[in-house]
Chain A
Amino acid sequence: MTDAEILDVIREVARTQLDHRGPLDPDADLGEALQLDSLRAVSLLVGLEMRFRIAFDPDDEAGLVRVGDLVPVIRRRLARG
């Protein structure tokens, strides 16, 4: 799966789980772009875990600032299998 494909799935999860409409720029601030409060943040992460069949570590989540930061984390988890 390419980074662009991973980003497309992130957009799909943002739309289905958070009802996010409009573009989602990889350089955008993750919290601001998706209006993440505690419940929405967990909903996004669980949505991604379900869609990719992966499990994030707490360390993964600590480093997330921009939308695009999700991509390498997801790539690593997919590679781990």
Chain B
Amino acid sequence: MRIGGVATAFPESRVPQETLTAALAAAWSDHPNFRRVEALHAATTVRSRHLALPLERYPALRDFGEANDAWAEAGAALGEKAVRAALDRARIAPDEVDALWFTTVTGLAVPSLEAGVARSVGMRPDVKRVPLFGLGCVAGAAGLARASDYVRAWPNHVAVLLSVELCSLTMQLSDQSVANTIATGLFGDGAAAVVLAGARRAASGPRVVATRSVLYPAGTEGVMGWRIGPHGFGLLLTAEVPAMVRGRLGDDVGAFLAAHGLSVRDVGAWICHPGGPKVMDAVDEVFGLGPEALARSRASLRDVGNLSSASVLHVLEATLDAPPPPGGWGLLLALGPGFCAELVLLRWDERK
């Protein structure tokens, strides 16, 4: 099976980081030391982010319900745009899609959001829908892996993964904790879609060679996640993510690659979820990577912020535009709540 096409879609509103920090200063005029907020925002390395709504509308969102309504409306439009663009790139018509996987962790809808997207883009009524919620940042990689499992079983089929993450609509303006302050500086809005074609379907992208899920032992549940409360999604975030990379991910990646006769040196394209600068520094360190290896991940974080599950697909899109040499291997990886990791091994064709 192969990746047929990847596309991202962003809201029109793109705001420089300084403007967002200044807006927060106005909302948090009672903060005793706003210098810390500025320092935490600067440390994210994010320079701009897209917002689902115009900046001035956020203070008017009175509760979780209103934020979630805005998520459903903006998310459906953005999801449709991403799916249409990915299908165009894959040269696959909407009515050829057999399964639609959908992931988000920034809003709730029943029926789930992809039902409307399937109808509006013109998918068949028998399209199989698989909404995923709760995987967080890992879901771009995990959704791609599960959709590839599907087309492995059904080699004549086409699956689409859609990720819609409107992180700005989860923002908790009443929470001045350090974790939430980092969140207000780190996360952005965007959507991404990937088309996966079974082995008997024509597609030009890299092959999905193998995938591996890693669920870490009990005691790691609190490393990151949401705490759901009356105001919606409250961020759980610890500084343990880089430590998990240093302590665990190196061995997990090594074992996964070794199972396919490969080592870290064989990986020509690193497609790493850009969780934050310290996580990427840890990945660089553990695998002994040069500055170019994660350049696309760092550029994604800089330009659009952390898009949760959509981020790794944004990096994948950039990688497909400038792939490694023919025959090259790619490793797509992400970490997320659980705590867990998902690894996807890709290979581009040899020159014919």
Pick the interface stretch among A2-10, A22-30, A43-51, A67-75: A43-51
Distance in angstroms between the alpha carbons of A46 and B179 in the assembled complex: 11
Query: In the complex, what residues of A have CB within 8 A of residue B237's CB?
Result: 39
B156: Cβ under 8 A from any A Cβ = no
Residue of B177, B237, B239 contacting most chain A CB atoms (<10 Å): B239
CB pair B32–A53 under 8 Å, yes or no, is yes
- Nearest residue in A to B243 (C-beta to C-beta)? A37
B176: Cβ under 8 A from any A Cβ = yes
Interface residues of B in 157-188 (CB under 8 A from A): 176-179, 181
- Name the distance in Å between B223's Cβ and chain A's nearest Cβ: 12
- Name the distance in Å between A80's Cβ and chain B's nearest Cβ: 12
B200: Cβ under 8 A from any A Cβ = no
Distance in angstroms between the alpha carbons of A54 and B31 in the assembled complex: 10
Query: In the complex, what residues of A have CB within 8 A of residue B178's CB?
Result: 39, 42-43, 46
- Name the distance in Å between A49's Cβ and chain B's nearest Cβ: 4
- Nearest residue in A to B32 (C-beta to C-beta)? A49
Distance in angstroms between the alpha carbons of A39 and B40 in the assembled complex: 10
Distance in angstroms between the alpha carbons of A55 and B40 in the assembled complex: 16
Distance in angstroms between the alpha carbons of A55 and B32 in the assembled complex: 6
Partner of B40, one of A40, A42, A50: A42
14 A-B pairs in the complex with CB atoms less than 8 angstroms apart: A17-B177, A38-B239, A39-B178, A39-B239, A40-B239, A43-B179, A46-B33, A46-B176, A46-B181, A49-B33, A54-B32, A55-B32, A55-B35, A56-B33
CB pair B36–A42 under 8 Å, yes or no, is yes
Distance in angstroms between the alpha carbons of A45 and B32 in the assembled complex: 11
- Name the distance in Å between B243's Cβ and chain A's nearest Cβ: 8
